[in-house]
Chain A
């Protein structure tokens, strides 16, 4: 059992070390990368099944009892996010192997990518705040390297913003840790659950807001999102895709985890979160509308979509949290897919600028389909996964009588559809005009890229088809979030 929790963190690290050692052979690195992530995928699915059937799993690393030692713990939310995250990492790695540029030019790509996987898994599975900080740092360090891989001027400029902002967020996190430790004398999340409840209300709210700011920068919520659309689009497409799908969601996960576990509903700054959620949705989508580059539009959409997840958290009801969990699952898959398609467009047409793109659908009908399905899903058109997730959130919003934020979320859905149709009309429709010359790509490499993207599109359709069971799963995860007794029991063993 302890193995199930440790493998997703340790195996990628071992893989990374091996990958550095075999740096001379790109083939060997590829085999190691794909094999490692495949094993981790199987492990995390097994973990999810186990958590769902037997309840929350926890392990004390090194055998020290809970508040002192390092705790790894997997509840429903962590296990679900781990499975989705690892699936994305695997799919994007396959895509990256096909794409010329990032992966084949640099010895460092594979090791760093595996370290990123390890950091993400550690962030989901850790049971105390300081290890969450360490997991964030591992993830961020890997992401710094990936975002500046190649060291082109545009990357260095935007990477600098990203690194400095992330670093300031990390320092603020450290500050929050110092305050939490001063106030309570522990950093174990389960232990903090009742220790924070015993603090005066003012201190609790202060800590809650500080943590919201910290995780808010990572997850790019409203006033703190500005760095994201500047940094993401310049990286190679697979890197952007994995960042868009995962990194902000690690922040969202930390936000949900800390708010539900540490700050019980009576001290919840719930209204603050709802206002922030509404503004995040609106500002993100308005930003997307003004852009005219596919990758930048999609980057602004990340911001807008984060708002929906924060909305589910801000409602703080069972249905709201279940909706948020379902939304995270849907969003990770769809967003990653869209960025991969954007990469394919860029590779085929030589640019991702809407003013220069035209008639891609004539050139490549398959790409048009691969784009259309996740785009409609993102906008929340009925049969697709986005609709199911949004319906759950809207339902929760009406149930909690938060009509303003429901109205905003519906308007934002429409605006999302508008900006998706803008990409569609400009890039895919119209006569094909030959753009900048693009180097031809060998068939097997292209097949890797198209198949991995296609696989994700099928996966997102699968989410829509299996939305019933998935919603039940999210609801079980949300029930554990609302009532953390089981979590505390599993960790502290009492």
Chain B
């Protein structure tokens, strides 16, 4: 197995995970992209060592396994589509809030407020 590619996959996944932990939507989207790439590299690696191109020439022993490459192609297309949708959604969100931060959920805010009120007085509303 190619150590350089393993390190690349690990590095991409680490960067992606780090970006995912932020609160800015644009960072999350880039993070998802990097994570996706890292995992795709891993998926290519799952076919074993690289060899001669599949289906060309007759040397069966030196074939590269074509299946993971087909899988990766499908996975790339899917991730690409979803990220495009996410970007559209992020733009829509920016239109509403003029901001890139992920908002707290309404219910979370309600619960937080209720617990504050509860600490201050007898009856939470």
Contact = CB atoms under 8 A, between A and B. Distances in A.
B43 A177 contact: yes
Interface in B67-119: 67-68, 71, 74-75, 78-79, 81-82, 85-86, 89-90, 92-93, 96-97, 102-103, 105-107
Contacts of B68: 178, 181
A171 B92 CA distance: 24
Candidate in A145, A156, A163, A230 with the most chain B CB atoms within 10 angstroms: A156
Contacts of A159: 89
B39 A178 contact: yes
B32 A167 contact: yes
Interface of B: 20, 25, 28, 32, 35-36, 39-40, 42-43, 45-47, 67-68, 71, 74-75, 78-79, 81-82, 85-86, 89-90, 92-93, 96-97, 102-103, 105-107
B85 A141 contact: yes
Given A179-B46, A181-B46, A141 B89 contact: no
A296 interface: yes
Contact of A158 (B40, B96, B105): B105
B81 A156 contact: no
A174 interface: yes
B32 A164 contact: yes
Interface string A159-185: 111011001101100110111011000
Interface in A286-315: 296
Candidate in A140, A144, A179, A182 with the most chain B CB atoms within 10 angstroms: A182
B89 A178 contact: no
Interface stretch (A91-99, A147-155, A344-352): A147-155
A104 interface: no
Contacts of A134: 74, 78
A156 B85 contact: no
A296 B90 CA distance: 25
Given A160-B25, A168-B20, A182 B105 contact: no
A144 B39 contact: no
B32 A174 contact: no
Nearest to B74: A134
A140 B79 CA distance: 12
Interface in A229-246: 229-230
Nearest to A144: B85
Given A153-B96, A161-B105, A163-B86, A174 B43 contact: yes
Among all A-B residue pairs, the 9 with the closest Cβ atoms: A182-B46, A181-B46, A178-B43, A178-B42, A178-B46, A153-B96, A137-B78, A156-B93, A174-B39
Interface in A358-392: none
Contacts of B93: 156-157, 160
12 contacts: A148-B92, A160-B25, A160-B90, A161-B105, A163-B86, A171-B32, A174-B36, A174-B75, A175-B42, A177-B71, A181-B68, A296-B107
B86 A167 contact: yes
A187 B90 CA distance: 35
Nearest to B40: A174
A181 B47 contact: yes
A153 B102 CA distance: 12
A130 interface: yes
A141 to B, nearest CB: 7
Nearest to A174: B39
Contact of B96 (A156, A177, A296): A156
Given A141-B85, A178-B46, 4 more contacts: A157-B93, A174-B75, A178-B39, A181-B67
Nearest to B106: A154
Given A137-B78, A161-B105, A168-B32, A156 B92 contact: yes
